[in-house]
Each structure stands twice: as structure tokens, then as C-alpha cells.
């Protein structure tokens, strides 16, 4: 996010209420699986914040973010499109989109805000790594002390792995709305399964598939067995 040519810090107050912004973050779950939160992608990567949070400065405890001579504070874009664009960067592939309400002191930039207090209103899940729309959150590997990172996944890629449903994430977050990021374009209008390729492999079709494979394997084993017997008899 570009810095303004001149700093203009203003305290937001008054009838228009908190300002709406958009950002990306990693969804997190606490080590005891009792709480969920969000982990920033740039500054504050070591911190996890909840639905409502006040920015803290990791450089100095002597001032309140956003300080005019420091880069502390929460950041957000003015538009969902800008946040969505950033989420396309490979290093942010497993991020989710947040719609937030910014309050308290803030600095306004051309593309967004740097501000003191944040309330996460909505979490939007993007696509799974396979390209399908994500429908749940699964354990995603790297975390920070006390927190594990979650990755958005589709049902097919999640497979038998345990997942956190969107409803469960919403409950643990304390009231954030969680949904799939369907807004904007209609992905199905551009991307669609190839003709003749199953869109989804459910258990009903998976079981006969596996049975067929097991039957084939059994037949092959019988063949090897009889061949072995033939060879054994021949050598006697």
C-alpha cells in the first residue's frame, strides 16, 4: 500500500459510523481448538487477532497506532476487488478475504486505511487449491505459537481429513459471518467440469469404484497364485 505524500491523521467520529474496509488474512484456530482468529500477512505476522481487536505497536509501546512516524496499525483496502487481487499472489494463496469495520484513529491512503480498532464482520473463502469453491477449513500446517493455520478446502480435496465447517468457524469466532466468495463473477460461467468427467465423486460412486478395483486385484492375485503352483509342480 502506497504511503500518502503528506501524512493526514484524522480521528474518525460522528454520524457516518465505522468505515468499511477489506483485507486478506490467514484463518487460525487455537491449539486447544476453542477459539479462532486471524493472522496478518505482512506486519504483525506473529500476532493473531480476534473478531474485535485494537492494534498494538511491536516497535514501541510508547505510542498508540497508527502513529504518524511508524507503520503500525491495522491495514485495509477501500474495495473488495483490491483485496481479492492481492489474494491472487501465490504467497497469499490460502488466505481468506475479510470485510472489516475500522474505527478509532486512522490514516487514509489512496487505496485504503491504516487504523486503530478493527471489527471483522465477514469472512469470505476463496477457491480451494484445485480451483473449486472452498466449503470448509482444514488444518494447513504452519502456525504461530498457540495457533494453527487453517486452509480453505473443497469437500473433494478435504477427503477423509477432519475439517472445520463454516458454521463452526463462525460460532468460535464470536459472531463473524462466514461464506464462500461467490460475489463478483460467476465462476461456473467460465470454469465448468469437462464433459464426461464427474463433477463430484461421492461415496455412492466411490464404493463401486473401489469394489471393482479390489475385484480386479483379487483376480490378478489368483492368476499369480495358479502360475506359482504350476511352476512349483513343474520343478518337483
Nearer to Zn ion, 70 or 172 (CB): 70
Nearer to Zn ion, 70 or 168 (CB): 70
Helix, strand, or coil here: 134? coil
139: closest CA among 27, 25, 15?
Answer: 27
The grid cell for 118 is 478493527
State the minimum distance, in angstroms, from the CB of residue 141 to Zn ion: 16
Q: CB neighbours of 165 closer than 8 A, spacing ≥ 6?
A: 136, 137
Site mask for Zn ion (CB under 5 A), range 28-57, x = bound: -----------------------------x
Q: Given phi > 0 = left and psi -120 to 50 = alpha, else beta, which region is 195? A: beta
Nearer to Zn ion, 67 or 173 (CB): 67
Nearer to Zn ion, 65 or 173 (CB): 65
Q: Is 24 in the site for Zn ion (CB under 5 A)?
A: no
Q: Is 113 in the site for Zn ion (CB under 5 A)?
A: no
- Among the listed residues 28, 97, 102, 154, the single contact to Zn ion using CB under 5 A: 154
Nearer to Zn ion, 126 or 143 (CB): 126
- Give the number of residues in contact with Zn ion, rule: CB under 5 A: 10
The grid cell for 15 is 454520524
Q: Binding to Zn ion (CB under 5 A): which residues in 52-81?
A: 57, 59, 67, 70, 72
- Among the listed residues 12, 94, 117, 132, the single contact to Zn ion using CB under 5 A: 132
The Cα 38–Cα 75 span in angstroms is 13
Residues for the chain: how many in total? Answer: 236
- Among the listed residues 157, 163, 166, 176, the single contact to Zn ion using CB under 5 A: 157
Q: Is 158 in the site for Zn ion (CB under 5 A)?
A: no
Nearer to Zn ion, 24 or 57 (CB): 57
Q: Is 118 in the site for Zn ion (CB under 5 A)?
A: no
Q: Is 130 in the site for Zn ion (CB under 5 A)?
A: yes
Q: CB neighbours of 65 closer than 8 A, spacing ≥ 6?
A: 55, 56, 57, 72, 73, 74, 105, 114, 116
In angstroms, what CA-CA distances link 135 with 71, 151, 169, 189, 229?
A: 35, 11, 12, 19, 53
19: closest CA among 92, 121, 88?
Answer: 121
Q: Is 138 in the site for Zn ion (CB under 5 A)?
A: no
Which residues are near Zn ion by CB under 5 A? 57, 59, 67, 70, 72, 128, 130, 132, 154, 157
Amino acid at each position: 500500500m502506497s504511503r500518502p505524500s503528506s501524512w493526514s491523521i484524522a480521528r474518525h467520529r460522528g454520524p457516518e459510523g465505522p468505515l468499511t474496509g477489506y483485507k486478506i488474512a490467514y484463518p487460525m484456530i487455537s491449539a486447544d481448538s476453542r477459539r479462532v482468529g486471524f493472522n496478518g500477512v505482512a506486519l504483525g505476522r506473529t500476532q493473531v487477532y480476534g473478531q474485535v481487536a485494537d492494534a498494538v505497536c511491536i516497535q514501541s509501546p510508547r505510542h498508540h497506532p497508527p502513529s504518524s512516524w511508524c507503520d503500525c496499525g491495522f491495514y485495509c483496502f477501500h474495495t473488495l476487488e483490491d483485496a481479492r487481487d492481492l489474494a491472487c499472489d501465490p504467497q497469499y494463496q490460502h488466505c481468506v478475504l475479510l470485510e472489516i469495520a475500522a474505527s478509532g484513529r486512522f490514516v487514509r491512503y489512496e487505496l485504503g486505511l491504516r487504523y486503530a480498532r478493527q471489527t471483522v464482520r465477514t469472512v469470505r473463502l476463496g477457491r480451494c487449491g484445485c480451483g473449486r469453491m472452498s466449503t470448509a477449513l482444514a488444518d494447513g500446517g504452519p502456525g504461530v505459537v498457540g495457533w494453527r493455520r487453517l486452509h480453505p478446502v473443497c469437500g473433494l480435496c478435504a477427503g477423509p481429513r477432519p475439517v472445520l465447517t463454516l458454521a463452526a468457524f463462525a460460532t468460535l469466532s464470536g459472531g463473524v459471518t462466514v461464506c464462500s466468495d461467490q460475489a463478483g463473477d460467476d465462476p461456473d460461467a467460465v470454469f465448468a467440469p469437462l464433459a464426461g468427467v464427474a463433477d463430484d465423486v461421492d461415496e455412492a460412486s466411490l464404493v463401486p469404484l473401489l469394489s471393482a478395483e479390489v475385484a480386479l486385484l483379487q483376480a490378478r492375485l489368483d492368476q499369480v497364485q495358479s502360475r506359482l503352483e504350476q511352476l512349483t509342480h513343474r520343478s518337483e
